[in-house]
Structure 1
Amino acid sequence: MVNDNDVILPDDAWLAVPDLMELTGASLPTVKGWLQDRELVGARRGPNKAVMVPASFVTAEGPVKTLKGTITVLSDSGFADEEIIDWLHRADDTLQGGSAIEALRQGNKTEVRRRAQELAF
């Protein structure tokens, strides 16, 4: 398992469930559904080991639309949730936006998913 220090995001780049609810206006059951349906993945962080999600995974409307399929591809390749978070945030100057998550946020899912699929081989 990845420790808090291994995840490349700073502490202020994470959202707890109440933060997700406030940002999106979604109810608790809706946010829990996003996590259960793997539209979002998170990591247990902080002294209370609360589930937290990278802020980059969410917009005011909810989860980044193209994230779920990418999470599925990476999960099918054997990645744990923390590894998915790391991979999506890893700096990559060859992707638009400089990382896989930024490329997804900009609507460029094809190249991100192609690279994610290559990881399975």
Structure 2
Amino acid sequence: MSERAVAPWVLADDVEALPISDVAQQLGIPISRVHQLMRDGHLLAVRRDGVAVIPEDFLSGAAVVKGLPGTVTVLRDGGYADEEILRWLFADDPSLPGTPIGALRSNRGREIKRRAQAMAL
């Protein structure tokens, strides 16, 4: 796994996160496939107490939250580091209201992707 695939812990302590093995089990895929999803930007991992974990909000049942991979790709292509993307996804935004990840989880991905595209310009 490349080092880019795991960012340092930059989120609030109340953000729930799962070890990669738990994510693999929830998605019903091998751990190696979770690592591939991370490399491809479909999931972002962070290190909490030295352990690579994935924010639980990135998952919806047995799937990655719809719109997350595209949002991450747009921001990465715009020059944003994974740490910056994570901060933005979990930052409270009164104009939404809530957080960008919350909006993605509630099927408002079009607005989030539009905002990500504007930020990436």
Change in Cα spacing, 1:12 to 1:88, as seen in structure 2 (3 Å) is closer
Cα distance, 1:120 vs structure 2 = 2.3
**Count of equivalent residues:** 115
Cα distance, 1:80 vs structure 2 = 1.1
| 1:107 equivalent in structure 2 | 107
TM-score, with structure 1 as normaliser:
0.82
| Residues in 1 aligned to 2:95 and 2:15: alpha-carbon distance in whole angstroms | 26
1:1-121 matches, cutoff 5 A: 4=9, 7-10=10-13, 13-46=16-49, 49-95=50-96, 98-121=98-121
Cα distance, 1:21 vs structure 2 = 2.1
RMSD of aligned residue pairs (Cα, Å): 1.9
Residue identity matched to 1:103: A
| Residues in 2 aligned to 1:100 and 1:108: alpha-carbon distance in whole angstroms | 9
| Residues in 2 aligned to 1:78 and 1:70: alpha-carbon distance in whole angstroms | 13
Residue identity matched to 1:102: G
| Aligned residues of 2:41 and 2:69 also touching (Cα < 8 A) | yes
Cα distance, 1:65 vs structure 2 = 2.1
TM-score, with structure 2 as normaliser:
0.82
| Aligned residues of 2:66 and 2:109 also touching (Cα < 8 A) | no
| Aligned residues of 2:15 and 2:55 also touching (Cα < 8 A) | no
| Aligned residues of 2:46 and 2:54 also touching (Cα < 8 A) | yes
Residue identity matched to 2:61: A
Query: 5+ residue gaps in structure 2?
Result: 1-6
Give CA-to-partner distance per residue, 1:44-103, whole Å, 9 cap, x none: 221xx232111111122121121000001111121111111110010012215x110011
Is the partner of 2:120 in helix, strand or coil?
coil
Cα distance, 1:11 vs structure 2 = 5.7
Cα distance, 1:36 vs structure 2 = 2.0
